């Protein structure tokens, strides 16, 4: 599978960048230096499509850090929120927040797609970080 050129122009942080083993076609996220299935050490970069399905999820109702702290994860300010284990179409699983939906609409087995959202906003300097989250497809 070829990677659309446009994706290469976007900073890595905006992509779900992992690795693929060209020997046995195993995908890895986060990236690994060698293939844990066949031992191959010549891994290639791979940008995941960003689609998958919900394997399990939990609703976070307690802030994970001090609400007075401006450096905290924005997600933690907007409780409750949904945190899910997502299996990507290519196989690897990851944990991510599910956004843009009612919590009661989140179900195991539902399809999701990746979106990029603000994750951190650091006070007066205005340093903003973006990262991946998912929404119902
Ligand atoms: Zn392999």
DSSP the chain: -PPPHHHHHS-GGGS-EEEE-TTT--EESS--SS-TTT-----EEEE---EEEEEEEEEE-S-SS-TT-TTS-HHHHS-SEEEEEEEETTS-EEEEEEESS-GGG--TT-EEEEEEEEEEEEGGGTEEEEEEEEEE-
Exposure of 101 in the CB half-sphere (CA atoms within 13 A)? 21
pLDDT for 15:
72
- Break the chain into its structural domains and give their ranges: 5-47, 51-136
Please answer whether residues 132 and 96 qualify as being in contact, where contact means their C-beta atoms are separated by less than 8 angstroms: yes
Question: pLDDT band for position 6 (50/70/90)?
Answer: very low
pTM of the predicted model as reported, rounded to 2 decimal places: 0.76
List pLDDT tens digits, range 28-45: 998 899 999 999 999 999
pLDDT for 132:
83
Least confident piece of the model among 5-9, 65-69, 73-77, 120-124: 5-9
Largest pairwise CA distance in the chain: 50
Protein residues with C-beta less than 5 angstroms from the ion ligand 1: 21, 23-24, 26, 35, 37-38, 40
CA of 94 to the centre of ligand 1 (A): 20
Task: Average the pLDDT over 90-117 and give the result.
Answer: 92
List pLDDT tens digits, range 65-88: 555 555 555 555 667 889 999 999
pLDDT for 81:
87
CA of 16 to the centre of ligand 1 (A): 20
């Amino acid at each position: 599978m070829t990677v659309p050129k446009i994706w290469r122009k976007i900073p890595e942080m905006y992509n779900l960048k992992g690795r693929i083993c060209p020997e046995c076609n195993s995908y890895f996220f986060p990236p690994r230096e060698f293939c844990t299935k066949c031992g191959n050490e010549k891994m290639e970069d791979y940008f995941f499509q960003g689609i998958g399905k919900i394997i399990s999820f939990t609703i976070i109702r307690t802030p994970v850090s001090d609400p007075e702290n401006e450096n905290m994860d924005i997600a933690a300010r907007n409780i409750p929120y949904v945190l899910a284990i997502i299996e990507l179409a290519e196989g690897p699983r990851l944990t991510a927040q599910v956004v843009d939906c009612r919590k009661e609409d989140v179900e195991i087995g539902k399809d999701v797609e990746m979106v990029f959202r603000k994750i951190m906003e650091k006070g007066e300097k205005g340093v903003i970080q973006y990262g991946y989250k998912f929404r119902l497809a």
